[in-house]
Structure 1
Amino acid sequence: MSSNSHDTPPFFKRGLPPSARLTIYLAMSFALLVTDLRMHYLEPLRQGVAILTYPLQIAATTPAEFVSNASNYFSGLISLQRENARLKAQQLKVSSQILLNEQLRQENENLRGLLQMQAQIKIKSTAAEILFAARDPFSRKVVLDKGSAQSIEPGAPVVDPQGVIGQVTRVYPLHSEVTLLSDKDQAIPVMVERSGLRAVMFGTGNGLMELRYLAANADVRPGDRILTSGLDGVYVAGLPVATILKVGRDSAESFARILCRPIGTVERTGAVLVLAQASVRPAMPSTATEAAEDSRRSSSGRVRKPANAATSASAPVARNTNASNPPASSASGNASERRAR
């Protein structure tokens, strides 16, 4: 009885020492590793464990990736903003240079055109610059930076590299006023370059011009260029004036309605030439020709040639000595009527 009461309880037995157990576990692990290395029997188990632990891996790496991505995003955003600001400043600088170069190019082209126009016209001219458009809503006028101090005279034609733009109508000491051809009070004698027809062109007041007093069947068509005829002694003959835009023909009317667009680009032009008035004017009909015309008109209505040149040449003397003949004013009126025709 006494021996049994002093025995150690079973759950207090220690078994193998820890070093022995460690040795056994290491041997078993080494054996499993060698066996798996040769036979690969743990591969399915490894794949199954990887599948089961993949969500845990994703959940574990998500915070770190979020922090890294957020840091990269904000750092990239700051660098992009800085780059954008730098590029905008560079673009503004380049744009200003491009605008300046374009302005200089247009100004050089305009000046070259004026030099070519001056060489073609071969008459005295003065270069001027358009300051601004006149503040008159009922007329089309511009103001130049040259006046009477620079020998600018009223009535002088004004041209740009493309053609005629108007005429000086008012002169001040340091500036002058130019009325454009499209003004409703302006008129200029012209001719159609293709057909040689002569007519008078009037401004319409709305930026266009109208070619008047041409028959409804006149040989004109859209696209024809209109030049100055030089009959008024103000504009040099052959200067471009306008291009025919539209031709309206109505059999019920005697004249065609012809609208034209001015060739001169005063809205985009800064420099112009103020020309001297044309010195060569059309020759007035001689007195002998007027007397012969009067004698033909006094006949039965048919146009006849005079008997000989001597009679025609002596007609002015006879008209001065014979009181029954019509006065000189009548002959001048007839000559004016012929010029109008």
Structure 2
Amino acid sequence: MAPARDRRTGFSRRRQYTAFLGYVLAVAGAVVGAVLLVASTFNPPAFSALRMAVASVTTPVATGLDVVADAVTSVPRAIGTWFRVHGENADLRAEVKRTRAILTTARTIAYDNRRLRALLAVRERTPEPVVTARLVGSTASSGRRFALLNAGHMQGVRPGMPVRGPEGLVGRVLEAGPIAARVLLVTDPDSLVPVRRTRDGMPAIAAGRGDGRVDIRSVNATNVRFAQGDMFVTSGTGGLYAPGVPVAQVERAGADSVLAIPFAAPDGLDFAVVERPFMPLPPPPPPRPTAP
């Protein structure tokens, strides 16, 4: 009898079926990949619709897995929090005492600000939230940066709507399906966000790099110095993003263009808020009647 390592697939029906099934799956995968490549090249709208249809099918599964993963990871976190709660309690009480004077000053400034705005009749624009949804996935290994949101047309999500998290701006909706949407992150190379520096209001542009960070570039100025730790928020220019939303913080000092780290990391976010554009564009004028 031949040794086990010298046997061919013909000695076992199971091995024959396994090898045959592997060949079939390999050929089917190659055919599907070729069809998708041709569709994305010659018919991008059809490929986009197909991609969003697949996302609508896989989003509920990804949502369920994300909920299970959160439940499992919350157990050790709860245990660690229980052990640290007493020390943190004392630290928080001391922090409250130190910041009480600062809080009083901030309340006074806020009251004066509201009074002056009322005197000047300044109108505030506050974007209305559309839906709060879960981020079920994001691309972290390619040059493009997208995230998948488990809300779509049925929840009122439309392309172009800004998306933000608790820490800051996440991006904007690029495509929307029935129950899923694809979000273009601020770190994507195609993302450009008008921002301003918090300490002096200097305007700038936050451009994505595709590696999880952004470039802060000065606007209409040269030899602009950026300090390490400078924080930038949305300026409201362009009407899409509401002003005052945190975007990024400068990593190292430099001039004209520096690297910055976004405040909102999609990999660490559970939920995000989809908002309406800050200042929606006016509807197009009706077509003029043609002369007979």
TM-score, normalising length: structure 2: 0.52
Q: Which has the higher contact order (CA 8 A, sep 6+)?
A: 2
For 2:258 and 2:172, the matched residues in 1 are separated by 22
Structure 1 residues 287-328: Cα deviation after superposition (integer angstroms, max 9, x where no partner):
xxxxxxxxxxxxxxxxxxxxxxxxxxxxxxxxxxxxxxxxxx
Structure 1 residues 173-198: Cα deviation after superposition (integer angstroms, max 9, x where no partner):
11000011011111011111111111
Amino acid at match of 1:99: P
Corresponding residue of 2:130: 125
Structure 1 residues 69-120: Cα deviation after superposition (integer angstroms, max 9, x where no partner):
xxxxxxxxxxxxxxxxxxxxxxxxxx98832737999xxxxxxxxxxxxxx9
Would the aligned equivalents of 1:228 and 1:235 in 2 still touch at CA under 8 Å?
yes
Q: Which ranges of structure 2 fall in alignment gaps of 5 or more residues?
A: 1-71, 83-124, 282-292
Task: Give the Å deviation of 1:220.
Answer: 2.9
Corresponding residue of 1:167: 172
Asked if 1:218 is matched to 2:227, the reply is no
Distance 1:152 1:261, change over 3 A: same
Superposition RMSD in Å: 2.9
For 2:272 and 2:80, the matched residues in 1 are separated by 16
For 1:171 and 1:177, the matched residues in 2 are separated by 6
1:99 to 76, 80, 84: 76
For 1:194 and 1:170, the matched residues in 2 are separated by 35
Q: How many residues align?
A: 167
Asked if 1:206 is matched to 2:191, the reply is no
Distance 1:97 1:160, change over 3 A: closer
* Percentage of pairs with the same residue: 26
Corresponding residue of 1:147: 152
Distance 1:134 1:148, change over 3 A: farther
Please identify the structure whose Cα radius of gyration is greater. Answer: 1
Would the aligned equivalents of 1:134 and 1:143 in 2 still touch at CA under 8 Å?
no
Higher strand share: 2
TM-score, normalising length: structure 1: 0.45
Task: Give the Å deviation of 1:210.
Answer: 0.5
For 2:234 and 2:193, the matched residues in 1 are separated by 8
Task: Give the Å deviation of 1:152.
Answer: 0.1
For 1:247 and 1:171, the matched residues in 2 are separated by 39
For 2:201 and 2:74, the matched residues in 1 are separated by 48
For 1:160 and 1:149, the matched residues in 2 are separated by 21
Task: Give the Å deviation of 1:245.
Answer: 1.1
Distance 1:104 1:160, change over 3 A: farther
Corresponding residue of 2:182: 177
Distance 1:135 1:182, change over 3 A: closer
Corresponding residue of 1:248: 254
Q: For 2:147, what is the secondary structure of its paired residue?
A: strand
The 5 A counterparts of 1:71-86 are none
Would the aligned equivalents of 2:143 and 2:211 in 1 still touch at CA under 8 Å?
no
Amino acid at match of 2:216: L
Corresponding residue of 1:267: 267
Distance 1:177 1:102, change over 3 A: farther
Amino acid at match of 2:75: I
Structure 1 residues 122-166: Cα deviation after superposition (integer angstroms, max 9, x where no partner):
623310001112588231111000001101010111111000011
Amino acid at match of 1:241: V
